[in-house]
Chain A
Amino acid sequence: MHKFTFVPVVLVSAISLAGSALGADEIKVGEFAALTGGSASFGQSSHRGTEMAFDEINAAGGVLGKKFKLITEDDQSAAGQPATIVRKLISQDKVVTVLGEVRSSATIEAAPICQENKIPLITPAATNPKVTEVGDYISRVCFIDPFQGTVMAKFALSKGWKKVAVLTDVKQDYSVGLAEFFVKAFTAGGGQVVKEQKYSTGDKDFKAQLTSIKVTKPDAIFIPGYYGEVALVARQARLLGIKVPLLGGDGWVGDSLLKVAGNALDGCFFSNHFSEEDQSPLVQGFVKKYEAKYHEKPDAMAALGYDSAGILADAIKRAGTTDGDKLKGAIAATKGFQGVTGSITLDPQRNASKSAVIMAIVNGGFKFEQNVAP
Chain B
Amino acid sequence: MADRPKLYLLLAVVAALIASHVLSGGAEPQIPALNPYYYDVLIGIGINIILAVGLNLVNGYTGQFSLGHAGFMAAGAYASSWLTLSYGYAMGTSGLATTTAFLLALLAGGAVAALAGLIVGVPSLRLKGDYLAIVTLGFNEIIKGVIQNCDRLGAQRGLGGMVQHTTFFWTFAFAAITVYVVVNLVNSTYGRGFLAVRDDEIAAEAMGINTTKYKVLAFVLGAFFAGIAGGLYAHFKQFIHPEGFNFMKSVDVVVMVILGGMGSTAGVCFAAVLLTILPEVLRYVSRIEALPEWLRHVAENRMIIYSLLLIILMITRPQGLFGAVNLKKKKA
Contacts and interface: CB of A to CB of B under 8 A. Distances in A.
A and B touching (C-beta < 8 Å)? yes
Interface of A: 35-38, 73-74, 76-80, 83-84, 87-88, 90-92, 104-105, 108-109, 112-113, 117, 128, 130, 170-173, 176
Contact of A87 (B36, B148, B158, B302): B36
Given A36-B301, A170-B156, A172-B156, A80 B237 contact: yes
Contact of B240 (A37, A79, A91, A172): A79
Contact of B37 (A77, A88, A130): A88
22 contacts: A36-B301, A73-B283, A74-B283, A76-B303, A77-B243, A78-B243, A79-B241, A79-B244, A80-B233, A80-B237, A83-B40, A84-B44, A84-B280, A87-B39, A90-B36, A91-B35, A109-B237, A113-B36, A130-B160, A170-B148, A173-B158, A176-B157
A87 B283 CA distance: 14
B124 to A, nearest CB: 26
Q: Is the interface of B mostly helix, strand, loop or mixed?
A: helix
B22 to A, nearest CB: 19
Interface of B: 35-37, 39-41, 44, 148, 156-158, 160, 233, 237-241, 243-245, 248-249, 280, 283, 300-303
Interface centre among B233, B237, B249, B283 (most CB of A within 10 A): B237
Contact of B239 (A37, A108, A117): A108
A164 B35 CA distance: 54
Contacts of B44: 80, 84
A36 B156 contact: no
Nearest to A117: B36
Contacts of A117: 36
B160 A36 contact: no
Q: Which 4 A-B pairs have the closest CB atoms?
A: A79-B244, A88-B37, A109-B239, A87-B37
Nearest to A112: B238
A79 B249 CA distance: 9
Nearest to A90: B36
A76 B244 CA distance: 11
Contacts of B241: 79, 105, 109
Given A78-B248, A171-B156, A84 B40 contact: yes
A91 B36 contact: yes
Contact of A36 (B36, B244, B303): B303
Contacts of B157: 104-105, 128, 130, 173, 176
B293 to A, nearest CB: 15
